[in-house]
Structure 1
Amino acid sequence: MLIKYLFLILLWILWCFFHSIMISKSLTDYLKNRFEKLFIFYRLFFNLTAIITIIPVLIYTYSIKTSPIFTWDGYLRIIQILMLLTAVYLCFAGAKQYNLSQVMGLAQIREKSSTSLISQDNKINIAGIHRIIRHPWYSAVFLLIWAQNMDISGLIVNIILTIYLVTGTVLEEKKLVQSIGRDYQEYQKKADMFFPVKWIAGKILRNCC
């Protein structure tokens, strides 16, 4: 069974690495310069490739599932439900602020433009949920994966995905700082990355004082 878990770790690390390479600035800049007219299809290609390549990884993950080592039973079920409801809310709240057509890669093809996902004018969006947290969809992913009953394979996957999301977000924000500059740094001071600690603390202080 150890070999199976090691292979599982390898598969997920390879998928994360491949996913990261595809969105790396060095590769995307090269492809944009090399295939300028065709680059409008890249976002859609990236999404489809990410989905297709993760399918066999998921199939293998579920093929080695064993008895749970942790379950959300009893009073813990309330916490689980709250986590899932919060994740659903974050998904919808984030969707209101993103151009979903652009996220999927369809807008780029329709408009024949490879514009940034930030916005058309390269400005940050601090409306709605973004006033509280900077990455609502990533927060939703954290809640969704950790709100599940877990066996050993599930725990391994959750740890890998958590490390990957945190690392990827830090690198992504470095690119945003390079692209937007001081405005994004100021935004980082006002809103938390994943969970609204600053917002909650502010509410508590205002109510107490």
Structure 2
Amino acid sequence: MDWVPHLAYAALWASFGLGHSLFAGRAMKARMAALGRWYRLTYNAMAAVHLAVVVAGGVWLLGDRPPFAPPWPLTAAQGVLALAGLLLLAWASRFYDMGRLAGLRQIRDPDAPESEPLRLDGPHRFLRHPFYAAGLMLFWGLAQSPLGLATALWGSLYFLIGSRVEERRLLALYGGAYADYRRRIPGFIPAPLLGRRPLPPA
């Protein structure tokens, strides 16, 4: 195996993670405060461009490798996993203010609060990070080539590290309410699969 393309692709993902952390940090937020209502949208646009560079780099480095030829039951299982990830992503999207996440609501309403109330409904009854979980399912469901497998590996590492950072932010934002929620509900695996009770319906 030629490790140079894989290491280069890993470096691209590392640059994305470091860039995300840098621009989400307090120092950079203070510098970008002059953007006002446009801050969130600008942040998301820069992240999208950076991610596009990572993906394009992966295609250039590893896209010419032939796909794997696993037995059909594994291919079918991966297809089911990817479909489940899409369904979870669609379900979770119904319980977030997607305009706020994208930065569009802040443009229309500059006085809107930066964060939403703590969500304990929908998929959050079963797991704390439905978007991350859906992303992991999609990564591994589509890992059917060297590029797909490398993307699943480095993307999963990015999500796992990102979830740790997100946990600290949520604890600081919601305090004891989130600490209690974290004790009761798993991060990525639905509570019933671990023998734990989900939260009651809201």
Output the TM-score relative to the length of structure 2.
Answer: 0.86
Quick check: 2:128–2:186 contact (8 Å CA) kept in 1? yes
Q: 1:183 aligns with which of 154, 157, 177?
A: 177
Alpha-carbon distance in structure 1 between the residues aligned to 2:44 and 2:50: 10
Q: Write the letter of the residue equivalent to 1:97.
A: F
Q: CA offset at residue 26 of structure 1?
A: 4.1
Alpha-carbon distance in structure 1 between the residues aligned to 2:155 and 2:40: 22
Q: 1:104 aligns with which of 62, 85, 102?
A: 102
Q: CA offset at residue 154 of structure 1?
A: 3.2
Partner of 2:11: 10
Partner of 1:207: none
Quick check: 2:126–2:186 contact (8 Å CA) kept in 1? yes
CA shift in 2, pair 1:71/1:167, >3 Å? farther
Partner of 1:78: 76
Quick check: 1:72–1:80 contact (8 Å CA) kept in 2? no
Alpha-carbon distance in structure 2 between the residues aligned to 1:71 and 1:195: 28
Alpha-carbon distance in structure 1 between the residues aligned to 2:162 and 2:135: 13
Q: Structure 1 stretches of 5 or more lacking a match? A: 204-209
Alpha-carbon distance in structure 1 between the residues aligned to 2:84 and 2:31: 38
Alpha-carbon distance in structure 2 between the residues aligned to 1:149 and 1:179: 35
Q: Write the letter of the residue equivalent to 2:86.
A: V
Q: CA offset at residue 20 of structure 1?
A: 2.0
Q: CA offset at residue 149 of structure 1?
A: 3.8
Partner of 2:55: 58
Alpha-carbon distance in structure 1 between the residues aligned to 2:143 and 2:166: 30
Quick check: 1:136–1:194 contact (8 Å CA) kept in 2? yes
Alpha-carbon distance in structure 1 between the residues aligned to 2:74 and 2:43: 38
Partner of 2:20: 19
CA shift in 2, pair 1:75/1:153, >3 Å? closer
Aligned positions of 1:120-159 closer than 5 A: 123-159=117-153
Partner of 1:206: none
Q: Structure 2 stretches of 5 or more lacking a match? A: 198-202
RMSD (CA atoms) = 2.0
CA-to-partner distance for each residue in 1:5-52, whole Å, 9 max, x for gaps? 322222221122112211224432x246x52xx332111111111111
Output the TM-score relative to the length of structure 1.
Answer: 0.83
CA-to-partner distance for each residue in 1:40-95, whole Å, 9 max, x for gaps? 21111111111112222212211232123x45541123312221221111111111
Alpha-carbon distance in structure 1 between the residues aligned to 2:121 and 2:25: 27
CA shift in 2, pair 1:127/1:71, >3 Å? farther
Partner of 1:67: 66
- The percent of aligned pairs where both chains have the same amino acid is 24
Quick check: 1:40–1:112 contact (8 Å CA) kept in 2? yes
Partner of 1:199: 192
Aligned residues between the structures: 193
Quick check: 2:143–2:149 contact (8 Å CA) kept in 1? no
